[in-house]
Structure 1
Amino acid sequence: MARDYYEILGVGRDASAQDIQRAYRKLARRHHPDVDKSPGAEDRFKEINEAYHVLSDPERRQRYDRPQPEQAFYGTPQEDIDFEELFGGMFGGRSARGPIRGADQEAELELSVEEAYRGGSRKLTLTGPAGQRTYDVTIPPGVVEGQRIRLAGQGGRSRAGAQAGDLYLIVRIAPDPRFRLKGKDIYIDLPVTPWEAALGASVPVRTPGGEASVKLPGGSSTGRRLRLRGQGIPARGHPGDLYAEVKIMVPVKPSPRESELFEELAKVSDFDPRKR
């Protein structure tokens, strides 16, 4: 009887997608054949991959969790078991459908926010049981977290000369201290001076696509959110928006003249933010 996929990854059946991904990465690093030289390491690595590819896909996970008394096992994540093809060779028969197409495969492709925004090309090297392979990847502009990029014919090799499977690259956006993504929308901090916040100003903004400008209304406080329509991820259909959140900054070491002006302002102003 096949082992339980949740047991293989060491997570509960209520584990979140993030829990499953963390568990997979930890186990894959530990049991990769290039690292783990113990007997059975390669089989263990394949088992971990199979469990992850089923549980990381919502539809496959749902099918796996559904009781299926008539189905004894699942096979690899990218292809269903065909019993005629599986057992035909053992009895001297041959599938009427001929050679079997190679299995589709998946791998993760980590991108910076700028790469996801602009697109471009990238060389990607993946290591598997058969060794290293390098791929030329074309990244379309505006890809988002979880999107799949298909490399036709770059997946598993087939036997008997049939067509190779496809390789699907799952996009992962690397954390960035400057840009925070929520779907297609981008959030950034907008540092401004006290006088820009009080009087209003045109403030430069750095976006993944380059520098832009935003009009800061007078009387803006920290936390105010300014929207730049269409300046988010340029996804197909409707692009996202960019939101610049005001963050008022003061000099760490004000000059004598700056201190003098701040002291003068304190004397003449009756503004008390704690009484609003």
Structure 2
Amino acid sequence: MSVDYYAVLEINRNATDADIKKSYRRLSLKYHPSSNRGPGSADKFNELAEAYDVLSDPRKKATYDKFGEEGLKGGIPAEFGENGAWTSGYVYHGNPEKIFRKFFGGDNPFADFYSKDGNEVAIGYNCLQGRGGKTHDSPIERDLQLALDDLFHGCTKKIKISRRVMNEDGYTSSIRDKILTIVVKPGWNEGTRITFPKEGDQGPNSIPSDIVFIVRQKCHPWFVRQNNDLLFTAQISLGMALTGFSLDIDTLDGRILNVPVNDIVHPKYTKVVTGEGMPLAKDPSQRGNLIISFDTTFPQKLSAERKHLIKQALAF
């Protein structure tokens, strides 16, 4: 009884080379003796290897398509052969593991199903039996450095990544570039995570990693962020601390904020300006506070006359 190699691989005669490879991958993993010890699985695994060995080779496939199994294995007449002689018949070597290992590459085609320490991963042989899906690679995390101005106003960042992508044949791959767009919302905090699902390297036996960008805030020349508040330190003289003054601060939205200070500025004194901090991520119309602390500069020397005048002033 002749063998229908197309039926063995569960494909039709119009199947492409990619279809042949895809079907062999699926069925060989399903019926591999390491994962399927059911009755007839070893014979099925062997039949799959022979069918793939023939249909994946253009010359063998062409001979089989025209002359069937008899012509393939018995040789074909001179007028169809080369050098005026009968072609030698095809003989299957009978080693399905050889076909399997050549297809998946390396001496251990099941390497993708094990962790780095050699232990079997949680999905086990469910992948091989077609029940459990593929392994999911760990997320790839990258820092996204943003200026305080970007986090105040919001912005759009475009990041080019290079990743390995599977080709149409299902088992080779190539490196391709892709642009990922991140829309930064006003008020985002340090540590905000932006996830792009399955944008990592692709592989035949794995689900691509998620790519995760983590917001990292760059230092600002004069503001320090504390949650939704902005901290600002003003340099003042001792005379200003005792007698009052007016402070001009350049804001992140391009204004000059005038802050009068009429209190005596003692070492623990702070001035809070409501609503002049960072936008709230959940409601950018609301803002935190601006908290001003002061660094008072003391004179290095005082003449006897000035000391006397200061004593008189403070005596009241």
Equivalence for 2:296: 248
On the 8 A contact 1:197/1:248 being kept in 2, the answer is: yes
Equivalence for 2:155: 120
In structure 2, the CA distance between the partners of 1:128 and 1:155, relative to structure 1 (3 Å rule), is closer
Pair 1:228-2:263 in alignment: no
In structure 2, the CA distance between the partners of 1:213 and 1:128, relative to structure 1 (3 Å rule), is farther
Equivalence for 2:200: 156
Question: What is the CA–CA distance in structure 2 between the aligned matches of 1:106 and 1:271, rounded to whole Å?
Answer: 65
Pair 1:180-2:224 in alignment: yes
Aligned-pair CA distance for 1:183:
2.7
Question: What is the CA–CA distance in structure 2 between the aligned matches of 1:163 and 1:271, rounded to whole Å?
Answer: 81
In structure 2, the CA distance between the partners of 1:218 and 1:170, relative to structure 1 (3 Å rule), is same
Equivalence for 2:70: none
In structure 2, the CA distance between the partners of 1:157 and 1:143, relative to structure 1 (3 Å rule), is same
Residue type at the aligned position of 1:168: V
Gaps of 5+ in 2: 1-114, 165-174
Pair 1:95-2:131 in alignment: yes
- How many residue pairs get aligned? The number is 185
Percent same amino acid among aligned pairs? Answer: 17
Pair 1:146-2:182 in alignment: no
Q: SS at the partner of 1:176?
A: coil
On the 8 A contact 2:123/2:135 being kept in 1, the answer is: no
Question: What is the CA–CA distance in structure 1 between the aligned matches of 2:213 and 2:229, rounded to whole Å?
Answer: 22
Q: How does 1:104-119 map to 2 (within 5 A)?
A: 104-119=139-154
Q: SS at the partner of 1:117?
A: helix
In structure 2, the CA distance between the partners of 1:148 and 1:199, relative to structure 1 (3 Å rule), is same
Equivalence for 1:268: 309
Aligned-pair CA distance for 1:231:
2.5
TM-score normalized by the length of structure 2: 0.45
CA offset digits 1:200-233 (Å, max 9, x no partner): 2331123434442322124213552111223333
On the 8 A contact 1:103/1:156 being kept in 2, the answer is: no
* Structure of higher CA gyration radius: 2
Question: What is the CA–CA distance in structure 2 between the aligned matches of 1:154 and 1:271, rounded to whole Å?
Answer: 75
Gaps of 5+ in 1: 1-49, 52-71, 76-80, 253-258
Equivalence for 2:248: 204
Residue type at the aligned position of 2:230: I
Residue type at the aligned position of 1:105: I
In structure 2, the CA distance between the partners of 1:248 and 1:242, relative to structure 1 (3 Å rule), is same
Aligned-pair CA distance for 1:171:
0.8
Moved more, 239-248 or 229-238: 229-238
In structure 2, the CA distance between the partners of 1:83 and 1:231, relative to structure 1 (3 Å rule), is farther
Give the CA RMSD over aligned residues. Answer: 4.4
CA offset digits 1:125-159 (Å, max 9, x no partner): 456785765433211111111111234x4622555
Question: What is the CA–CA distance in structure 2 between the aligned matches of 1:74 and 1:187, rounded to whole Å?
Answer: 52
Aligned-pair CA distance for 1:122:
2.0
Residue type at the aligned position of 1:185: D
Moved more, 172-181 or 136-145: 172-181
On the 8 A contact 1:190/1:205 being kept in 2, the answer is: no
In structure 2, the CA distance between the partners of 1:139 and 1:240, relative to structure 1 (3 Å rule), is same
Equivalence for 1:190: 234
Residue type at the aligned position of 2:192: Q
CA offset digits 1:56-101 (Å, max 9, x no partner): xxxxxxxxxxxxxxxx9696xxxxx42245xx33xxx32366x777
Aligned-pair CA distance for 1:124:
2.8
